[in-house]
Structure 1
Amino acid sequence: MRQDNQLIVLTHLSQLLTFLTGFGGLIVPLIIWASQKDNVYQMDEQGKRILNFQISLVLWAIICVPLILALGLGIVGLIILGLVSFIYPIINAIKASHGETPTYPLSLNFIS
């Protein structure tokens, strides 16, 4: 198993593809994780964290949609989700580049 912090950083930053293309923030990290989890040190652990975060974001967004009718609370929730989904991949890419273990807020444990 090899140490490759650059690939791990790239995996964290690949979540931002959603902002550029409208999709890819879940698909690209999934492909990188699935193909490299046995070859790169810490890829399995960090890839699972990324995928759990992305799946959680989708779930929270689905929950926010009907809440739009409840005094606009869903709009506030979607804005918060948008900010969290943009800021935390960058923060965690920096942490991963320094060898630290990143954490994602609002993340539910789907893949363990």
Structure 2
Amino acid sequence: MTENAADLVHVKVAVQDGSDGRDTGLVVVNLGNAGAEIYMQPTALDSTRWETTLTARPEDMTISPYKLAALAAEVTLASSLCTFLQFKSLEWDRMSGMHDGQ
């Protein structure tokens, strides 16, 4: 059976509360082809902008071109997810009327 990026990527929402008890929105993507993780979260509490952090690896990694392509697919999936979350945050913010657009 052939593995693909979708088989190796694991996404979870971290259970984490902000200081006022609201969820901070931390999402973790485990990269199966790199032994690393990508964390994604809003840039600040109630922000509509999201950012990603790629964790460091303890050592260099040498991989085949096929593994590199699989890793690229995992990173692309994480990028698409973070873009989707940012869009949904912006959409919710606009619909809620809680901010004045600044």
State the TM bucket, normalised to the shorter chain: 0.3 to 0.5
Structure that is richer in strand per residue? 2
TM-score (norm 2): 0.37
TM-score (norm 1): 0.34
Kindly name which structure, 1 or 2, has the bigger radius of gyration based on alpha carbons: 2
Structure that is richer in helix per residue? 1
